[in-house]
Structure 1
């Protein structure tokens, strides 16, 4: 019998009567039973994970599909997959800031600033698109870095520093755009293709689905080896296999649906690759562990000799960079930049997506995939409202209700964890 691993994910199985080897069906059953037992323990301790948002998303899809049979059509799901990208990328940056228990209120203005810098350089000044694109993203990085360093050095709450940034970057954007106010982008240009290009070959979507599942297996396997080497609890190979299989089923199902319309959107591919890459950074690098540690306790992090100033500066720099990239995708979607870019409900939706997806407002808990799930909920509500001709006011009320519920669940979850000595 092998040594028990974390969350009862063991490879124990009753041997087959003829071969003497563990029966594959029983082995998978043991893995699933282990997951169920671990899940129950987490629920009792207040660690709800992604369960609430998944249930909300399922409810939203069921309700709108019952109201209009076209809601879950390949066309609408394809459009939905592109619509979540711009704000979703901004929400990913917000996740980094929330992990510190802070808030960045400037992301909307930074996204507008980056789009304005790109448009003025490319359209008005004739700078090549690729160079204008890089400068636009760097503008967001610089803005985020300035805010992060100010926050780290002055110890003024991040929401105050970024509130000042919101006004400053918005003013600079308006000055850059000038009196014209609106700049139309080239509809056949590089930026426009970010949200208008589709991989029409079916093999591309299926191939990338296979690659994604393989990456999940490799990352999980490497994590298992590292934990095993230092004697830490780790997943069994069968548990990793079942998990990879579940991811593969979802990935191939998504590929199938997208191929039934126009194929895999380039915007969705970039979004998922970015989210996965930053998730690896957060969960499998020294920098990521520092972010979670600082979100858990600033004082403990200082005593552990972590560079609090550097981590805070880097987190706000990441947030600014992601806001700039998201702003360029939003500009690509409408092929124009105006004085209203980055305004409206963009900031609120980005923050709501991160929180609804499961990132804690108290810091120290959440992943980049939280932004994806939260954005799916928000955009699904918006899409459902549009397809059923429901007033926009109702959309705001529903989204606000979901956000409030997410905050309440987060608060209750934290209290439960404190009661169990986990927070």
Structure 2
């Protein structure tokens, strides 16, 4: 594009990339006004929840409690990440809890009853999740069974499989000195390495931002200024650096939490930077339009079901490792509802086509923060259920309102 030729998107202010910090702030206010709220509601919710619980109990925001919180969010967080995948294509999976329970039972049986290596136990559990997702995909694509009905049946069926695998035992204990249990309970990143991870993450954020700006320029569109991108990366580095510093005041950053964050980042890259990710959003937005555009809609549905069940299996493995046992209650109770609620509260739309991998991370952080705060206040789970339910209804209502506002302002 020659210097005299204006960028193709300058005729519509909604598409113009901000050039300065002031432009970025004004663009953010404009998006909020038009109903494109992004992650703002969930960030606001986290601030409110943390502030309230800190005022009620001074230990809530202590480094020790936040380290415990970083452990607790991971197993259900993997389930929520899988739910994000299926919600993006406008479907649902009600069986992630049961799938995680089966995976936990498989892990324990292979490790303890059959005395096989840890890697083989994990591989067997993950393969089980892949197989379940494949079965769901066939039922949905070949026999047109609605995902709600199919996964509801899976919830019941795989709960039975879990009980059958455990053969009436209440629990199968994992060796406490095994690497899997140690990873989920006692392994922490060395302090110097945690700071290095923060620097690498900020550098990666800057690199992808600059690459995106170059892509926009090559397409004849306006692009953010390098100075603004560097400023954003500096803010990311400052936030990550402070988080690492604060967690290192006690035990530090858990390797299990690092694993979850890495998977979230990889999933974010897949969804936002790859052809497959764009296909997921297209199918969730309008399946028929996606089909007419040449997207293999059935293949996209199949892969999202497989990814969801596989991530649920990983969550089940980590849940068993965290507890050092696979029990009959693993994956039962409110696990399903928490995973679905986390995805929705984090900003993934129930209508399909909107959301991100970070929805799982932020949503489960909200739910586990509520649970942790009520535990510190010695309040029973009844309050947690009521508060989580109220937050979920508020999130869905806000999403519905924002969706209507976006349509009214031409943002889709």
In which range does the TM-score fall when normalised by the shorter chain?
A: over 0.9
Superposed, 1:19-418 pairs within 5 Å as: 31-199=20-188, 201-418=190-407
Is contact 2:94-2:151 (8 Å) kept?
yes
> Alignment partner of 2:326: what SS?
strand
Contact 2:189 2:255 in 1 (8 A): no
Deviations 1:81-130 (A, max 9, x none): 11000101110110011101111011011101111111111100111111
Q: Which runs of 5+ in 1 are unaligned?
A: 11-30
Helix, strand or coil for the counterpart of 1:337?
strand
Q: Distance in 1 between matches of 2:183 and 2:148?
A: 31
Contact 1:258-1:264 within 8 A present in 2 as well: yes
How much has 1:164 moved relative to structure 2? Answer: 1.4
1:323-373 deviation line (CA, Å, top 9, x unaligned)? 000111111111111111110000000001010011111000000001111
1:150 is displaced (CA, Å) by 1.5
Report if aligned partners of 1:152, 1:308 keep a CA contact under 8 Å in 2: no
CA distance in 2, matches of 1:233, 1:352: 37
Deviation for aligned residue 1:175: 1.2
Distance 2:367 2:147 in 1: 25
Distance 2:328 2:16 in 1: 52
When residues 345 and 219 of structure 1 are mapped into structure 2, their CA distance, relative to the original with a 3 A threshold, is same
Distance 1:161 1:127 in 2: 33
Contact 1:99 1:363 in 2 (8 A): yes
Give the alignment's TM-score, normalised by structure 2.
0.95
Counterpart-to-counterpart distance in 2, 1:183 and 1:177: 7
Shift of 1:200: 5.6
CA distance in 2 between counterparts of 1:269 and 1:82 reads 10
When normalised by structure 1's length, the TM-score is 0.92
Give CA deviations for 1:199-248 in whole Å, capped at 9, x if unaligned: 36320111111111111111222222222222234322122212211111
The answer to whether residue 33 in structure 2 is matched with residue 9 in structure 1 is no
Residues 210, 229 of structure 2: 8 Å contact kept: yes
Tell me the equivalent position of 1:28: none
Contact 2:17–2:222 at 8 Å: present in 1 too?
Answer: no
> Take 2:276 and 2:379, find their aligned partners in 1: how far apart are those partners?
45
Query: 2:17–2:223: 8 Å Cα contact kept in structure 1?
Result: no
Q: Following the alignment from structure 2 to structure 1, what is the Cα–Cα distance between the partners of residues 330 and 190?
A: 34
Quick check: 1:96–1:319 contact (8 Å CA) kept in 2? yes
Distance 1:310 1:363 in 2: 17
CA distance in 2, matches of 1:232, 1:112: 49
For residues 233 and 377 of structure 1, the distance between their equivalents in structure 2, rounded to whole angstroms, comes to 36
Distance in 2 between the 1:387 and 1:345 partners? Answer: 20
Cα drift, residue 8 of structure 1: 4.7
Q: Give the whole-Å Cα distance in 1 for the aligned partners of 2:93 and 2:182.
A: 29
